[in-house]
């Protein structure tokens, strides 16, 4: 599907279009993230992951400015969300990202509107997304401007926002975060999935940090959305580093920064 947009663009010479990636064209279009790293393990794992998700209703829409990709949105029916949420009958946004000088041109709004339109047309109760005032995930400002409201919160800085279309229950977050953390014991554990192509190298950074500190690292892979929803020790779900029953990180962190954070546990 091709939709062209020219209204409201700051520079009249810019040509903007939104393409929908699917099982047939995903290898040609890519999925925006890691677009220059298509030969890496992380990219290939994400590609294989997407092929399974398309059968569940996954949508990826990529915005192009003058034939160059500048932004994208990834969303899926809430029962298949790879976040620690209960969002049945909502479309759930995994990622919304605008890069570089493309920011401030309304591209995030255009992509979010695409998701909202799909949700209304297909009879969903609304749209939901997990945000963070910390690192890695998008903040809540754009969603609040579109009429979303904060419906749940989780540590350390997560907010679940939803836009409901009718009188239906809002999505929810778990409350048993401490219990979830304790399930992984006192050892250093990295939890990962293939939902994000950057995670592959993050896992290796955790193992490198463990070796430098002389700490054994255990890896746990979640293979489906139910494992994420029921067991993830952070709302982000698809990546976590745990040590001595505490969440060390849920977002990309370099080896040296991770080592500094871990050393505080020894003091």
Whether the full predicted model's pTM is greater than 0.85, yes or no, is yes
- β-pair partners for 77: 91
pLDDT along the chain (267 residues), means of 10: 34 80 93 84 95 97 95 98 98 95 95 98 98 85 96 96 94 97 92 94 91 92 98 96 92 80 72
Q: Which residue, 132, 164, 196, sits at the end of a domain?
A: 164
Domain presence at residue 73:
yes
Asked whether the beta carbons of 128 and 171 are under 8 A apart, the reply is: yes
Same domain, yes or no, for 72 and 28? yes
CATH number (domain holding residue 250): 3.40.30.10
Same domain, yes or no, for 103 and 218? no
Q: In this predicted structure, what is the pLDDT of residue 38?
A: 86
Same domain, yes or no, for 111 and 228? no
Same domain, yes or no, for 158 and 186? no
Same domain, yes or no, for 83 and 191? no
CATH number (domain holding residue 46): 3.40.630.30
Q: Which residue, 143, 164, 185, sits at the end of a domain?
A: 164
Q: Which domain range does residue 246 map to? A: 177-263
Same domain, yes or no, for 126 and 47? yes
Q: In this predicted structure, what is the pLDDT of residue 9?
A: 38
Same domain, yes or no, for 141 and 217? no
């Amino acid at each position: 599907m091709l939709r062209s947009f020219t209204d409201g663009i700051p520079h009249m010479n810019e040509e903007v279009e939104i393409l929908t990636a699917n099982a047939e064209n995903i290898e040609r279009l890519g999925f925006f993230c890691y677009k220059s790293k298509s030969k890496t393990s992380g990219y290939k794992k994400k590609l294989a992951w997407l092929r399974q998700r398309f059968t569940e209703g996954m949508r990826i829409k990529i915005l192009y400015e003058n034939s160059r990709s500048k932004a994208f949105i990834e969303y899926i029916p809430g029962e298949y969300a790879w976040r620690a949420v209960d969002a049945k009958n909502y479309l759930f946004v995994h990622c919304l990202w605008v890069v570089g000088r493309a920011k401030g041109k309304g591209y995030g709004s255009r992509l979010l509107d695409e998701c909202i339109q799909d949700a209304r047309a297909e009879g969903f109760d609304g749209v939901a997304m997990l945000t963070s005032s910390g690192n890695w995930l998008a903040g809540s400002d754009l969603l609040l401007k579109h009429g979303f409201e904060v419906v749940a919160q989780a540590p350390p800085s997560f907010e679940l926002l939803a836009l409901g279309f009718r009188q239906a229950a809002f999505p929810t977050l778990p409350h048993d975060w401490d219990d979830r953390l304790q399930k992984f014991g006192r050892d250093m554990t990295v939890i990962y999935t293939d939902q994000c192509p950057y995670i592959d190298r993050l896992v290796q950074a955790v193992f490198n940090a463990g070796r430098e500190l002389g700490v054994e690292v255990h890896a746990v892979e979640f293979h489906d959305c139910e494992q994420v929803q029921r067991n993830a020790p952070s709302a982000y779900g698809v990546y976590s580093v745990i040590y001595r029953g505490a969440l060390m990180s849920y977002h990309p962190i370099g080896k040296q920064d991770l080592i500094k954070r871990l050393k505080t546990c020894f003091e």
